[in-house]
């Protein structure tokens, strides 16, 4: 199910900042070769991530689920001059596309692409995260939450994607494995008094979780 009316999406795209040239090229290449190109954040969500990152000017960003690098490129736009963006992707072919585009960005040398299982890589990264974007395997979201919260600094922000899971979590009975996992995650974060959170109805739903 498309969560946002196509007219609203078109209006938002028309009056948001235009996509940078690298993002247009990356989107086009992903659509041409990848059967699941819909996973890419896209124009409006990409600008949203960019604005948040520019507001925060983070020193350390973690992204879980690079895919072909669209959201990482957007997040990198706000990275501070000495900052590092660590992004994790388990599939070599997607990571290779991402790497190609990171090499074209002015601050691409500040992006470290880790190839492998995020569950195993995250505990090896000993940074105090300012900003985290969670966008990988949905059945892992609850476990990732535990891992991330250990190293998210106070005042740091976790953004998690696909909170509506294509509308499946809105059904009276949630049957799909991924939708059930997302719903369990949403219930878990709602109970956590150590954070402020808001669900934002961008694309497939984002939740913004601010560590108090």
The CB-of-121 to ligand SAM minimum distance in angstroms stands at 7
Closest among 105, 96, 104, 97 to 75, alpha carbons compared: 105
Q: Which is nearer to ligand SAM, 28 or 196 (CB)?
A: 28
**Per residue, what are the HEC states of 143-204?**
HHHHHHHHHEEEEEEEEEECCCHHHHHHCCCCCCHHHHHHHHHHHHHHCCCCEEEEEECCCC
Least distance from C-beta 38 to ligand SAM, angstroms? 9
- In angstroms, rounded to a whole number, what is the distance separating the alpha carbons of residues 150 and 156? 11
- What mask, x for binding ligand SAM by CB under 6 A, covers residues 79 to 108? ---------xxxx--x--------------
Is residue 53 within the footprint of ligand SAM (CB under 6 A)? no
Residue 187 DSSP SS3? helix
Q: How far is the CB of 197 from ligand SAM (least distance, A)?
A: 20
- Residue 112 as a binder of ligand SAM (CB under 6 A): the answer is no
- Told to check if 19 binds ligand SAM by CB under 6 A, we report no
* Beta-sheet strands, E only, within 24-97: 60-64, 84-89
Residue 83: HSE in the Cβ half-sphere, 13 Å Cα cutoff = 24
Count the site residues for ligand SAM by CB under 6 A. 19
Measuring CA to CA, which residue among 63, 80, 82, 73 is closest to residue 121? 63
Q: Confirm if 199 and 163 have CB atoms less than 8 A apart.
A: yes
CB under 6 A: which stretch of 1-9, 36-44, 101-109, 200-208 binds ligand SAM?
Answer: 36-44
65 binds ligand SAM, rule: CB under 6 A: yes
Q: Minimum Å distance from CB 39 to ligand SAM?
A: 4
In the block, tokens 């290779």 appear at 96
**Residue 130 within binding range of ligand SAM, rule CB under 6 A:** no
**Min separation Cβ 73 and ligand SAM, Å:** 9
Closest to 150 (Cα-Cα) out of 196, 65, 211: 211
- Bridge partner residues of 87 (DSSP): 63, 113
Near ligand SAM by CB under 6 A: residue from 135, 158, 159, 179? 135
Enumerate binding residues for ligand SAM (CB under 6 A): 39-41, 65, 67, 70-71, 88-91, 94, 117-119, 135-137, 140
């Amino acid at each position: 199910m498309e969560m946002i009316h196509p007219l609203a999406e078109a209006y938002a795209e028309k009056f948001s900042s235009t996509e940078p040239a690298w993002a247009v090229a990356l989107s086009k290449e992903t659509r041409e070769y990848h059967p699941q190109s819909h996973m890419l954040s896209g124009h409006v969500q990409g600008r949203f991530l960019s604005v948040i990152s520019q507001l925060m000017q983070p020193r350390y960003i973690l992204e879980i689920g690079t895919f072909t690098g669209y959201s990482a490129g957007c997040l990198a736009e706000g990275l501070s001059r000495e900052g590092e963006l660590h992004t994790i992707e388990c599939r070599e072919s997607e990571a290779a596309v991402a790497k190609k585009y990171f090499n074209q960005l002015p601050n691409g040398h500040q992006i470290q692409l880790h190839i492998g299982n995020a569950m195993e890589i995250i505990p090896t990264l000993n940074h105090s995260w300012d900003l985290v974007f969670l966008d990988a395997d949905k059945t892992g979201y609850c476990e990732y939450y535990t891992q991330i919260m250990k190293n998210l600094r106070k005042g740091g922000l976790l953004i998690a994607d696909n909170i509506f899971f294509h509308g499946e979590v809105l059904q009276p009975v949630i049957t799909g494995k991924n939708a059930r996992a997302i719903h369990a995650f949403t219930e878990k974060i709602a109970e956590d008094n150590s954070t402020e959170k808001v669900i934002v109805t961008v694309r497939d739903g984002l939740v913004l979780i601010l560590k108090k």
